[in-house]
Amino acid sequence: MERPDYRGASYWLETAGETLTPRPPLAGDVTVDVAILGGGYSGLWTAYYLLRDNPGLEVAIVEAEICGYGASGRNGGWCSSRYPLHPYALEARYGAETARETILAMYRAVKEVGRVCAEEGIEAEFRMNGILSLARGEAQMAAVRSAHAAYERLGFGDGNRLLAEDEARARVNVTGIKGALHTPMSAAVHPARLARGLARAVERHGGVIYEQTRVERLVPGTDAAFETDRGRVRARRALVAAGEAYLPKLRGFDRALVPMSSSIVLTAPLSAAQWDEIGWRGGEGLGSQAHIVDYLTRTSDGRILYGSRGAPYLFGSATEGAADAFARTSAEMREQLRGWFPVLRDVDFTHAWHGFLGVSRDWNVNVSFDPGARVGALYGYTGRGVSTTNMAGRLLSSLILGRETPLSRLPLAGRSSPRWEPEPLRWLGIRYVQDAMRRMDVARDAGRRAPLDAPLAKRLGDQ
């Protein structure tokens, strides 16, 4: 059978600096201490900390394609210090002290990613560049001010500055800009190089990775095992479900989270004159206050990456099909980016791709380990996984080993979010909210009142 060309999955995998030749698949039954489903950030970080701190532990990762094939090799390249829940949602649900500890833990996670890259020699282009949350139009300023106020209440006002229009425009010349929230404690990475480098670090520390091996069933209990299409992987201590957006394919996780699509388009490298017009010399991650989330990255070779979650949810939590819908979304996004920067009106776009991120029913991260069932799981990063997976992997490795850690006091520890509704209610509800959010963006950008059903849509889609 002809080997897939994994480089075509994203610009990041194309420029990972290696051939992406798959590692050998599983060749029959094996027994290890810890078996991990998934060769993305979640599984790789969990394996890394288990092995680094416990020489001699037998850890195996089982990956259906290659390490970094999913969201870990397709994301926007943000290593964000922002937890999946907004600061005001953290504060409202868990109180100010827990919200503060969670934000501090995210700051540490960003630094830890950079530290591991340096220590393990991972050339992931890690750079502390910060984030600018932009208000494009006066109507978006309310959201920016609300986020800044939450940071101030929690004691992070100095590290999250509110910028007036002139200061924001001096940083980046975006149409309609009225202000911004600047968060310096965030970084950027080459996501595929991070994933591929982590995989090699896992192997250096004694882990084994089986690629092109698909897990078909998880068997909990005293004979815990993954049944795969190439054999059985038994685990003496723990099975780890680290498949993120692909977990709903596994029995028992079909309603634990949903895969939300995120699409990306990428320009050709810009000219010096174009960059002079745009500014953006700090290379911060950019995003507006659109309900349909957008994000922009300045790549190290002078391109602009533009991402959006505007593509529709697929029935039954599918992650295949809908090529036409994704093509339409990509075409719309090219025009949207030209709206941000009119100087790009004649720019060429060289790449477009899409992927899926995992979203739990309450938008929170889930990290858990059941010693009786010998099953651990970590998922639900809602697009903030480059950094949050590091924290989740450290937490889960300590839970498996029965070790206490300050991370166990945070909102992601020992959790099981409410289950998503069964189909077709799930499809109807998510599609409705997606459509309503789009209509709300259109109305706000046009200076019109929000649609009459905006309160309902916000309540259904609220964190």
**Residue 386 sits in a domain of what CATH number?**
3.50.50.60
- Asked whether residue 52 is domain-assigned, the answer is yes
Q: SS3 of 287, please?
A: strand
Q: Which domain holds residue 396?
A: 6-75+191-257+362-409
Q: What is the DSSP letter of 113?
A: H
End-to-end CA distance of the chain: 45
- Give the model confidence (pLDDT) of 6-28 as tens digits: 999 999 999 999 999 999 999 99
Residue 132 sits at φ, ψ, to 5 deg, of -115, 110
Question: Same structural domain for residues 173 and 262?
Answer: yes
The answer to whether the Cα torsion of 85, 91, 92, 97 is positive or negative is: positive
- Asked whether residue 97 is domain-assigned, the answer is no
How far is Cα 350 from Cα 355, in angstroms, rounded to an integer?
17
- The DSSP string of 192-248 is HHHHHHHHHHHHHTT-EEE-S--EEEEE-STT-EEEETTEEEEEEEEEEE--GGGGG
Reply yes or no on whether the pLDDT at 460 is more than 90.
no
For residues 36 and 59, the answer to whether their CB atoms sit within 8 Å is: yes
Read off the pLDDT of each residue in 419-442 and give the average, rounded to a whole number.
94
CATH number at residue 270: 3.30.9.10
Q: 439 is written with which tokens?
A: 């209509």
Best CA proximity match to 389, nearest among 5, 46, 70: 46
How far is Cα 168 from Cα 174, in angstroms, rounded to an integer?
9
Question: Same structural domain for residues 393 and 303?
Answer: no
Reply yes or no on whether the pLDDT at 415 is more than 90.
no
Largest CA distance in the chain: 65
Residue 317 sits at φ, ψ, to 5 deg, of 60, 35
How far is Cα 329 from Cα 421, in angstroms, rounded to an integer?
26
Question: Same structural domain for residues 241 and 147?
Answer: no
Question: Same structural domain for residues 314 and 446?
Answer: no
Looking at residue 462, what is its pLDDT? 67
Reply yes or no on whether the pLDDT at 357 is more than 70.
yes
- Give the model confidence (pLDDT) of 168-197 as tens digits: 999 999 999 999 999 999 999 999 999 999
Looking at residue 255, what is its pLDDT? 97
Question: Same structural domain for residues 27 and 136?
Answer: no
Lowest mean pLDDT among 81-85, 134-138, 194-198, 446-450: 446-450
215-219 vs 225-228, strand pairing mode: antiparallel
Question: Same structural domain for residues 164 and 280?
Answer: yes
Question: Same structural domain for residues 384 and 299?
Answer: no
Residue 195 sits at φ, ψ, to 5 deg, of -65, -45
Q: 354 is written with which tokens?
A: 């899409």
Please tell me the total count of domains within the chain. Answer: 3
Interhelix angle 385-401/96-120, rounded to 10 degrees, is: 90
Reply yes or no on whether the pLDDT at 414 is more than 60.
yes
Reply yes or no on whether the pLDDT at 456 is more than 90.
no
- Asked whether residue 100 is domain-assigned, the answer is no
Read off the pLDDT of each residue in 275-288 and give the average, rounded to a whole number.
98
Predicted model pTM? 0.96
Express as a percent the part of the chain with pLDDT over 70: 99
Question: Same structural domain for residues 367 and 434?
Answer: no
Question: Same structural domain for residues 203 and 249?
Answer: yes
How far is Cα 149 from Cα 56, in angstroms, rounded to an integer?
49
- Asked whether residue 404 is domain-assigned, the answer is yes
Reply yes or no on whether the pLDDT at 88 is more than 80.
yes
Q: Decide which of 443 and 267 is more confident.
A: 267
- Asked whether residue 284 is domain-assigned, the answer is yes
- The DSSP string of 298-312 is E-TTS-EEEEE--SP
**Which residues are 215's β-sheet partners?**
228
Q: 446 is written with which tokens?
A: 């046009």
Reply yes or no on whether the pLDDT at 347 is more than 70.
yes
Best CA proximity match to 286, nearest among 434, 358, 180, 145: 180
Question: Same structural domain for residues 53 and 34?
Answer: yes
Question: Same structural domain for residues 232 and 334?
Answer: no
Question: Same structural domain for residues 195 and 181?
Answer: no
* pLDDT classification of 2: cutoffs 50, 70, 90: low
Reply yes or no on whether the pLDDT at 117 is more than 90.
yes
Read off the pLDDT of each residue in 261-276 and give the average, rounded to a whole number.
97
- Asked whether residue 119 is domain-assigned, the answer is no
- The DSSP string of 59-92 is EEEE-SS-TT-SGGGTS--EE----SS-HHHHHH
Best CA proximity match to 206, nearest among 62, 67, 403, 47: 47
Q: Kindly report the average pLDDT of the chain as a whole number.
A: 95
- Asked whether residue 414 is domain-assigned, the answer is no
